[in-house]
Structure 1
Amino acid sequence: MKIKKRLLLNYSIFVPYLILSVLGLIVVYSSTSADLVYWEASPFALVRNQTIFWLVSLAAIWFIYHLRLKFLRNSHLLFLAVLVELVLLVLTLFSGEETNGASGWLQFAGKSIQAAEYLKLIVVWLLAFTFTKRQKAITNYDYRALTRDTILPRHFFDWRTYLLILIALVVVQPDLGNATIIVLTSVIMYALSGIAHRWFTGLLGLIATASTVFLGLIGLIGVELVAKIPLFGHVAKRFAAFFNPFKDLTDSGLQMAHSYYAMSNGGWFGRGLGNSIEKNGYLPEAHTDFVFSIVIEEFGLIGAGLILALVFFLILRILNVGLKAKDDFNSMLALGIGAMLLVQVFVNVGGISGLIPSTGVTFPFLSQGGNSLLTISVAIGIVLNIDANEKRASILRELNQQ
């Protein structure tokens, strides 16, 4: 029995994706048009670019949704993706365009490629593939099953070495935001791999303790010493802003202080779409890292809360696909994608609110950035494909039982 795939589309994922994407275009225009007019450029320049990426993203979702899902189980394709990502990260490190102290963008054919954005999804794919192949061994040998030889072809290192090298290349750009997302997502997927919970609890406790001690040491010895480390000068400014953003309102604390001003200006109901004060030259990166501060200022805490609720609803629906999937690989991949989005939201909102040091991470859908939108869209396409395949398999099982 042949079941048309378009009838299996999960609208509880696709519709929120469409709403958030369109809302993102509105927010990008609102947060960028004033600056573009000031610089005598078209107010539609950046939203036009974002729209092009969104149209490409829709095409990517349609293409991925209609592919046979087994293409993601090809170890040679995965190895090629890792290799290409490795090359892109090395090229970015040595010839990337520097922005705010980080060399994270590679110029190609007039477009900027941010390799670290795509790495997040590739790491989820790599870990889902690796852990799934070792499910029986994990059942018998617990965490020791994940220390055996890699399943990637023609290898010199195992999967842990590949992962550490890729993360290290992101760190030295330095792009601590995306590195943090990759590390936390990897930890969550490690916990979901089937190992005993005590190992995950111990690892999580180790990370929390190390982070607390690290921040405590920086606070004790001062961020001035961190600023002297090559490549990490701008990172020191973020730590300085975390400890006291109002100490230096002209430099290190500028973003955080104006982020607070923006959220305070918004109140409960906001100043109205397009009426933000802080985006008019006061809050740097108002359209990328700190776009959610502008969202709060224009839509208020209630409006921003509803948007955040929709994002969490989308993430929960993605996680639900992973939890219900009967196939181990499908389950691990969907759960990894859901974890990746959840961690990104946490790191961004935590950064702009001062709960954690700001790391320069974009907010999903709303921030201006074609690479981020394309990565998320590809991830959504994969989840929709997984859900459709699981539904089809479930229908066929029920028919065979009748």
Structure 2
Amino acid sequence: MPEKVKKRHLLDYSILLPYIFMCVTGLMMVYSSTSYVAMTATNPTTAASYVINQAIFWLLSLVAITVMKTDVFRNKKFVQIAMIVILFLLIAAFFFPRRNGALGWLSIAGFSIQPAEYLKFIVIWFLSVTLSYRQKGIQQEFWKTVWRPIGIVFVYTGIMAFYPDFGNAVIIVLLAFVVLLASGLNYLYTLILGLAGIIGSMLIVLFVNLTGGKLLPAYVYSRFSSFLNPFADEYDTGHQMVNGYYAMFNGGLFGRGLGNSIQKRGFLNEAHTDYIFSIVMEELGLIPSIIILGVLFYMVGRIFLVGIRSRDPFNSMMCIGIGALFMSQIFINLGGITGLIPLTGITFPFLSQGGSSLLMLSICIGFVLNISAEEKRKQYYLNY
């Protein structure tokens, strides 16, 4: 098979094109959602730093997608080094200033790095590598095989709980659960883990209800109270949710027009991060917002399909874990801004401003593109 034909025909455009569409839309919305800041700032260059930083991270993401090879990431020593590095960064975050009442950011040379964003991908990678080498043990001695890697993941999650960053901690636990289910374990263990997850979630909710949330950190408790009734304190704890509702209501079917959001003009704080989709709905409207969601869900569906069709355990677990990462962030973010669940500070994939999130999600896309090409190459040689 000629080299040029191989590169052109093995690329999965059903994943690449939606990815590019989402990133371009994200840059557009970050610029729009921060335009009020740019107009009112004394230094326009500083005000434009949001979209500039986002563009820089996207360029870095494209470079990473171009040069990365999945064969390198199958090496156990490589993933062990990554786990050590991310552990160092997680601990280092305790020595940097808080943001919105929580730790978790490293500010270096004008750039902010959030180690938890990279940890989500590294957990999927670590478990996929570890469990792919233990396929026989998973079937024969499941608990003996998985207790150590799962224990390591929970240690890392526990560190994040001390920030506190419960939103990302919940996602990491969920990702570990999904990768376990995709590892080939017995259906009985699947049932046990599922019941344990449901019972554990119910106990947590019961505990919060019985204590009134008063044993939670102050900023976490404020989010629970605003979730229960945001209009009871719409000028304080419920401020974000109430103005997020106004933004979504203002948009109607086709929006107020790009750049014409009312709520981003000092009413909705940090409109370019957690509440970016509210601004999307206000400026573009319900119909275009559904189209954007449709493109994103189509891409995620293709990622799951690559994982399901893969015959290689590592490839399968990586794709299914990455698909679960996208789905969890989408539903937790949308659930938070619509009031279905408490707001957790989880960004919306590709649209929210955040270089760490964009780079991490782009690396995930690069992995899936490489895995898809690898599976197509195997099928080509099998047929010919």
Q: What is the TM-score of this pair, normalised by structure 2?
A: 0.94
Map 1:131-280 → 2, pairs under 5 A: 131-147=131-147, 158-223=148-213, 225-226=214-215, 232-280=217-265
1:278, 1:299 → 2: CA distance? Answer: 14
In structure 1, runs of 5+ residues without a counterpart are 148-157
Give the C-alpha shift of residue 167 in structure 1.
0.6
Question: Which structure 1 residue ranges, 4+ long, deviate > 4 Å from structure 2?
Answer: 1-5
Which residue identity does 2:193 align to in structure 1? L
2:117, 2:33 → 1: CA distance? Answer: 22
2:246, 2:203 → 1: CA distance? Answer: 30
* Cα pair distance change 1:200/1:38, threshold 3 Å: farther
SS in 1 for 2:231: coil
- Given that 1:258 and 1:278 are in contact with CA atoms closer than 8 Å, whether structure 2 keeps it comes out as yes
Give the C-alpha shift of residue 52 in structure 1.
1.0
- Given that 1:262 and 1:293 are in contact with CA atoms closer than 8 Å, whether structure 2 keeps it comes out as yes
2:345, 2:296 → 1: CA distance? Answer: 19
2:181, 2:103 → 1: CA distance? Answer: 32
SS in 2 for 1:98: coil
1:204, 1:37 → 2: CA distance? Answer: 51
Identity of matched residues, %: 46
- Given that 1:181 and 1:343 are in contact with CA atoms closer than 8 Å, whether structure 2 keeps it comes out as yes
1:297, 1:206 → 2: CA distance? Answer: 40
Which residue identity does 1:193 align to in structure 2? S
What's 1:37 paired with?
39
What's 2:91 paired with?
90
1:294-344 deviation digits (Å, cap 9, x = unpaired): 111112221111111111111011111111112111111111111111111
1:51 has 2:41 as partner: no
Give the C-alpha shift of residue 384 in structure 1.
0.6
Question: Which stretch shows the higher mean deviation, 125-134 or 355-364?
Answer: 125-134
1:67-100 deviation digits (Å, cap 9, x = unpaired): 3x2211111111100000000000002x123110
Give the C-alpha shift of residue 391 in structure 1.
0.9
Give the C-alpha shift of residue 354 in structure 1.
1.0
* Cα pair distance change 1:267/1:198, threshold 3 Å: farther
What's 1:116 paired with?
116
Give the C-alpha shift of residue 222 in structure 1.
2.5
Give the C-alpha shift of residue 184 in structure 1.
1.1
SS in 2 for 1:107: strand
- Given that 1:318 and 1:335 are in contact with CA atoms closer than 8 Å, whether structure 2 keeps it comes out as yes
1:282, 1:103 → 2: CA distance? Answer: 25
2:188, 2:136 → 1: CA distance? Answer: 19
- Given that 1:348 and 1:361 are in contact with CA atoms closer than 8 Å, whether structure 2 keeps it comes out as yes
Map 1:356-395 → 2, pairs under 5 A: 356-395=341-380
* Cα pair distance change 1:198/1:255, threshold 3 Å: farther
* Cα pair distance change 1:251/1:209, threshold 3 Å: farther
Which residue identity does 1:317 align to in structure 2? R
* Cα pair distance change 1:284/1:219, threshold 3 Å: farther
Which residue identity does 2:182 align to in structure 1? L
Give the C-alpha shift of residue 144 in structure 1.
4.6
1:97, 1:321 → 2: CA distance? Answer: 41
SS in 1 for 2:344: coil
What's 2:314 paired with?
329
SS in 1 for 2:98: strand
Pairwise CA RMSD of aligned residues?
1.6
1:307 has 2:292 as partner: yes
- Given that 1:189 and 1:332 are in contact with CA atoms closer than 8 Å, whether structure 2 keeps it comes out as yes
* Cα pair distance change 1:208/1:300, threshold 3 Å: farther
What's 1:150 paired with?
none
Which residue identity does 1:10 align to in structure 2? D
* Cα pair distance change 1:11/1:140, threshold 3 Å: same
What's 1:79 paired with?
80
Give the C-alpha shift of residue 2 in structure 1.
5.4
Give the C-alpha shift of residue 3 in structure 1.
4.4
1:104, 1:277 → 2: CA distance? Answer: 31
Aligned length: 380
- Given that 1:268 and 1:302 are in contact with CA atoms closer than 8 Å, whether structure 2 keeps it comes out as yes
- Given that 2:139 and 2:186 are in contact with CA atoms closer than 8 Å, whether structure 1 keeps it comes out as no
- Given that 2:182 and 2:316 are in contact with CA atoms closer than 8 Å, whether structure 1 keeps it comes out as no
2:258, 2:207 → 1: CA distance? Answer: 42
Which residue identity does 1:255 align to in structure 2? Q
- Given that 2:171 and 2:325 are in contact with CA atoms closer than 8 Å, whether structure 1 keeps it comes out as yes
* Cα pair distance change 1:236/1:370, threshold 3 Å: same
Question: Which stretch shows the higher mean deviation, 354-363 or 291-300?
Answer: 291-300
1:106 has 2:106 as partner: yes
1:250-278 deviation digits (Å, cap 9, x = unpaired): 22111111111111111222211111111
Give the C-alpha shift of residue 284 in structure 1.
1.5
SS in 2 for 1:389: helix
